[in-house]
A and B are shown apart, each in its own frame.
Chain A
Amino acid sequence: MKFTDFAYEVKEGLGISFQAIRANKMRSVLTTLGIVIGIVSVTLMGTAIEGMSRSFNEMISKIGADVLFVQKFSWFSSQEDFFASRNRKNIDLKQFKAVRDQGSTIAAVSPMTGTRVPIKYRSLSSDGIILIGVNEQYIQVGGLNIEMGRFFSQAESNGDRPVAVLGYTIAEKLFPSETPLGKNVKVGAHSFRVVGVVSKQGSFLGMDMDNRVYVPITNFLQKFSNNRRGMDIHVKAANINDLENTKEELRGILRKVRGVKPGVKDDFAINQQEMFIQTFNQIGGVIAAIGLFITALSLFVGAIGIMNIMFVSVTERTKEIGIRKAIGARRSTILLQFLIESAALSLIGGIIGIIISYPLSLLINQILPTSMPISVVAIAILISLVVGVVSGFLPANRASKMDPVEALRHE
């Protein structure tokens, strides 16, 4: 078949399709509705999955990719491990110092511990703040940005000075109309001078990161010494491409300082961002697959609807098929005609579906940071086209194979 012939047949097929669709408006609308629902649910699911993954990536980026967390427990350990490891020794300042002094592949290191205390400035107070004890290097390790003032210095940190750096929302709450810098706030029973405010960070795993107050760890340990759970050591590696080396170095230092005998397993854990990503990819992948599968089912139901109506259409138009064959339509011509018709029905459904999905995706955007990706739009259009062609194939094939004599006799 020449290309021009094909083009004429496609054009003729399109004309016939739109005639047929218009001639059976109600039926076409109902059939298309199945595809509309299918495409809406699939695109929204795709959008939600995209949003989940994007919000995860945003969140995870707050844990620097090059930061290692020396902790008592592994982030993702099984129940069994937890019971086996709960009698582990706490991590203390001595171990932190060993890391600080011996680590050679380290850019910055800070101990970190925290507790929940109330904070007060004159008549304004806030209850559920997290007081964090760190050293001056935490500004690098934690990736903090300073909104105003400064982070506390090494001298302040080493000299146990009662200075504090406020999280963004605390600063807003306690100092609605004046600068917090240089003011004394009451943390628990103790007074601290504010030297800086951290820029807005948002939340991580549901924790409000702006609801924190940072003070020198030595000061923290003296004044809030009820600290049975010890501390963590946050380490920023010198070279992100050499993370494994840094990890090995830390292991060596900690095994030594914690007195772990050779051949015995580590009694501490070195956690990193990577573990989050792996776990998320596993869980997120499963959720995405299940979600898409379930929504794809509704698209499948829509496809069955199209197939059903196309069978009806073919039967109704038996006579027309006979006429067309008598005046020279080939099998392929008839096949193409009905394929175009079902593809057109489905494609219209797909396009309407996308038009409906778009405002709904804006609603999802209220919860998840997402927008309907152009790839989802393209895939949805492609899917609806494929669905139309596939579900139209059996009816179209039946039409194309009709015996012209029988078809002409049909009333």
Chain B
Amino acid sequence: MQPVINIKNVKKTYIMGTVEVNALVDVSIRIQKNEYVAIMGPSGSGKSTLMNVIGCLDTPTSGLYEFNGVNVGDMNDNELAKIRNKDIGFVFQTFNLLARSDALHNVELPLIYSGMKKTDRKVRAEEALGHVRLEDRMHHKPNELSGGQRQRVAIARALVTNPSIILADEPTGNLDSKTGVEIMGLFNDLHAQGNTIILVTHEEDIARHAHRIIRVRDGLIEKDFMVEDRVLPGVNV
């Protein structure tokens, strides 16, 4: 089966002033559809760079990156934007919602960029908000929502385009542990519904929600293994 993500010997080098920093030295990963993968590593390990590359926010300096069989390295800015729009759902640590727009508009935004008709996108956005159980908060602005609710809006925004992967960067980092557990439960549900989830975290407890953990250190894959004692979210929201 064709993997969703096929990364082969990817290298990423930054120039910081006069110093070259090798954020990714040589990384190869394959991720199949409906996998639940956690990318782990301490800060400075290169996991953020890897996430940016996987999320098509950044392109590798060398090596191959195929997304659904298409070479991302050959893509121009617009094509990358299109992939981010349609095939990748981002969930960030700091939620990254638009402060001046209500929940519904935040969720609609990716659909606006993909050119969907107004009536269609409203239906889709409401559906996605229903999915994260926020149908009664649709017209609240982010500052009128709790942290957990904000993250759920962000997850609805990630889901709304029906992406190939959901890419979550420390999604519980700004939440208290109880809310964190709720959010992880939500990811678990999404995975059970057939979504492919890639979780980037430095917390062992969070990572062990996934089926597979990839440990990154010094720009290399240190370890890539299946989790045997998965943490199942105790609270089901």
Task: Spell out A's residues near B (CB within 8 Å).
Answer: 2, 4-5, 8-9, 12, 19-20, 23, 319-320, 322-333, 403-405, 408
Contacts and interface: CB of A to CB of B under 8 A. Distances in A.
Contacts of A326: 55, 57, 84, 90, 96
Nearest to B81: A330
Given A8-B115, A325-B84, A405-B58, A330 B100 contact: no
Contacts of B52: 405
Given A327-B85, A331-B78, A23 B100 contact: yes
Contacts of B118: 8
Interface in B94-135: 96-98, 100-101, 109-110, 112-118
Given A5-B115, A23-B100, A323-B98, A328 B110 contact: yes
Interface string B39-82: 00000000000001001011000000000000000000110011
A19 B97 CA distance: 15
A328 B84 contact: yes
A320 B81 contact: no
Contacts of A403: 58
Contacts of B113: 9, 324, 327-330, 333
A12 B81 contact: no
A405 B100 contact: no
Contact of A323 (B78, B96, B161): B96
Contacts of B117: 4
Nearest to A19: B100
Contacts of A332: 78
B157 interface: yes
A410 to B, nearest CB: 11
Q: Size class of B's contact patch? A: 20 to 34
A329 B85 CA distance: 7
Contacts of A19: 100-101
Most buried by A among B84, B86, B112: B112
A329 B96 contact: no
Contact of A324 (B77, B109, B115): B109
A5 B78 CA distance: 14
Contacts of B82: 328, 330
A328 B98 contact: no
A216 to B, nearest CB: 85
A408 B96 contact: yes
Given A8-B115, A405-B58, A327 B110 contact: yes
Contacts of B110: 327-328
Contacts of B100: 19-20, 23
B77 A330 contact: yes
Given A5-B115, A404-B57, A408-B96, A328 B86 contact: yes
Contacts of B90: 326-327
A16 to B, nearest CB: 8
24 contacts: A4-B117, A5-B115, A19-B101, A20-B100, A322-B96, A323-B96, A323-B98, A324-B109, A325-B57, A326-B57, A326-B84, A326-B90, A327-B90, A327-B110, A327-B157, A328-B81, A330-B77, A330-B78, A331-B77, A332-B78, A333-B81, A333-B113, A404-B58, A405-B52
A7 to B, nearest CB: 9
A362 to B, nearest CB: 41
Contacts of B55: 326
A325 B85 CA distance: 9
B54 to A, nearest CB: 12
A325 B77 CA distance: 10
A166 to B, nearest CB: 76
B197 to A, nearest CB: 17
A5 B96 CA distance: 24
A408 B57 contact: yes
Contacts of B78: 330-332
B67 to A, nearest CB: 14
Interface in B114-162: 114-118, 157, 161
A328 B115 contact: no
B109 A327 contact: yes
A352 B100 CA distance: 26
A319 B97 CA distance: 10
Nearest to A404: B57
Contacts of A331: 77-78, 81
